[in-house]
Amino acid sequence: MRQVNLGLIGGGTVGGGVLKALERNGVLMASRLGVEFRVARVAVRDLKKKRTVKLSRKVLTTSWEDVVNDPAVEVVIEMMGGTTTARKVVLVALRLGKPVVTANKALISKYGEELFEAAEKHGANLYYEASVAGGIPIIKVLREGLIGNRVTRLYGILNGTCNYILTRMKREGKDFPEILDDAQRLGYAEAEPSLDVDGYDALHKAGILASLAHGFWVNPDEAYLEGIRGITQLDIQFAEQLGYTIKLLGIVKKHENGGDKCAPIELSVCPTLVPNTHVLASVNDVFNAVLVRGDVVGDTLYYGRGAGQDATASAVLSDLADAALDLKCDSKNRVPPFVPHEREGAVVEPGETVSPYYVRLSVVDRPGTLAQIATILGKAKIGISSVIQPEGHEGESVPLILMIHDAPMADLEQALGKITKLGVIKGQPVMFRVENFE
């Protein structure tokens, strides 16, 4: 049987998970693929650290160069994280013509264009299934399964840590710092928690999916980004009263203006009110889900664990199978890593994004307050679809919840700026997008 020698850089949560999964299902994979995997080299930072999978000292090294440059290593698996050294690792391996498997969404998001060019130039494939949505094979879906479709909408719950925190906040009425500790302990969160809770991780993933779906390299810096730190129990409870659940949602929409080809796309990652009747509202805990709408297929939905050792290892094994089959069949780049197919693509300015919104104001409970607010919104041509002012709130100010009809984000922000200056308003307004999945 053909043997494929693997070189891993990183043996932490994900790298360790890959080693464990290979121990568990390596024989099964060999019987399915006709290829046997052998772990030839593994680089880690600390040789003395206790590992769940026993590796001989001959296999272990602290130098990633030892792994990548080892002539025996045929597939390089980058599981170290970060972007500086990881970029070097991937480029050196690709230049040597070695296929690379990575779970590193920050790396693909930041240097993807350069890495895919290098892969093409050197005829070596770059596999990144584990970089988006953990165990869900969403990269394969977009690259292969839905190849005959134009993607018109893509909605994703893409960060397991945020979804875990929001689920427990809603279920247990707790605030988010307390739950973040648990997510870190369970190995879901990134080493730097800001990557998760401030939405960067979800944006990296949404940007990769947007690029794949729309065929041009989408710069995530052009997207609208907001994390989950600003979500309070008050908003979770008001959203529930209105029939919604707050999720951190990645949204990729193809606009219809300008004809099909040159229409821009919208890319945002932000807390979003999802109707409780929609399937994405019931995606809970560390689970991710991606809804992809294709012009031929209609709506399709993918669901699975979005973070954690085993889910991510499963995605890496899928990439290893593809890499091994390419080697076995001598069919380099059978499925190219990323093929730009739109000559020009553009991302809509975040302020121009049109959507319904949830707005919470803190107001002085006195006659005429609502009229003053409605006048400013009316002048800005922003319509109110419903208002709630709960009874029984004590103190100087009370919450006032406005559900806003479709409005451009910049117009709403400007109107809220004026509303904040009214004498009857206390504190800063809160606004969240509402998505009806049309």
- 29 or 43: whose CB is closer to ligand NAP? 43
CA 117 to chain CA centroid, nearest Å: 23
Nearer to ligand HSE, 20 or 426 (CB): 20
What stretch of H or E contains 190? none
Give the nearest residue (CB) to ligand NAP: 12
> Quick check: 320 and 6 in contact, CB under 8 A?
yes
Q: Binding of ligand NAP at residue 42 (CB under 6 A)?
A: no
- Judged by CB under 6 A, does residue 180 bind ligand HSE? no
Q: Where are the beta strands (DSSP E) in 276-394?
A: 287-294, 298-305, 354-364, 384-388
- 407 forms part of the interface with ligand HSE (CB under 6 A): no
E-strand stretches of 295-389: 298-305, 354-364, 384-388
Among 370, 376, 371, 372, smallest CA distance to 388 is for 370
Q: How far is the CB of 343 from ligand HSE (least distance, A)?
A: 31
Q: Which tokens in the block code for residue 179?
A: 């739950």
205 annotated active-site: yes
Q: Which residues touch 97 (CB under 8 Å, ≥6 apart)?
A: 122, 123, 124
Query: Judged by CB under 6 A, which stretch of 185-193, 210-218, 236-244, 384-392 contacts ligand NAP?
Result: 185-193
Consecutive H or E run containing 274: strand 265-275
In the complex, the smallest distance separating the C-beta of residue 54 from ligand NAP, rounded to whole angstroms, is: 15
Q: How many residues bind ligand NAP (CB under 6 A)?
A: 29
* Residue 46 interaction partner, one of ligand NAP, ligand HSE, none, beta carbon < 5-8 Å per kind: ligand NAP
CA–CA separation, 105 vs 207, rounded Å? 10
**180-192 in b/e burial notation, b at 16+ Cβ within 10 A?**
beebeeebbbbee
Candidate list 37, 128, 188, 357; residue touching ligand HSE; CB under 6 A = 188
83 is an interface residue for ligand NAP by CB under 6 A: no
Report the nearest approach of ligand HSE to the CB of residue 236 (Å): 19
| Residue choice 81, 220, 271, 304 for contact with ligand NAP (CB under 6 A) | 81
> How many C-beta atoms lie closer than 10 Å to residue 66's C-beta?
16
Binding-residue pattern over the window 120 to 149 for ligand HSE, x denoting contact by CB under 6 A: --------------x---------------
**What is the contact mask toward ligand NAP in residues 139 to 178, using x (rule: CB under 6 A)?**
----------------------------------------
* Active-site option among 205, 247, 253, 254: 205
List the single partner that 191 binds among ligand HSE, ligand NAP, none, CB under 5 to 8 Å by kind: ligand NAP
CA atoms of 62 and 46, how far apart (whole Å):
7
CA distance linking residue 211 with residue 216, whole number of Å: 5
CB of 324 to ligand HSE, least distance (A): 24
Task: Say how far apart CA 283 and CA 305 lie, in whole Å.
Answer: 10
Instruction: Between 44 and 189, name the residue whose CB sits nearer to ligand HSE.
Output: 189
The binder of ligand HSE chosen from 190, 198, 235, 319 (CB under 6 A)? 190
User: Nearer Cβ to ligand HSE, position 188 or 358?
Assistant: 188
Q: Helix 176-185 to helix 160-172 angle, to the nearest 10 degrees?
A: 130
- Dihedral (C-alpha) 32, 33, 38, 44: value to the nearest 10 degrees? -90
Nearer of residues 134 and 264 to ligand HSE, judged by Cβ? 134
What burial letters (b/e) apply to 81-91, b meaning 16+ CB within 10 Å? beeeebbebbb
Identify the bridge partners of residue 363 per DSSP, sorted by sequence position: 398, 425
Query: Which residues make up the interface to ligand HSE (CB under 6 A)?
Result: 134, 159-161, 188-190, 196, 201, 306-307
Query: Which residues make up the interface to ligand NAP (CB under 6 A)?
Result: 9-15, 43-46, 49, 64, 79-81, 85, 103-105, 130, 134, 187-188, 190-191, 307-308, 312
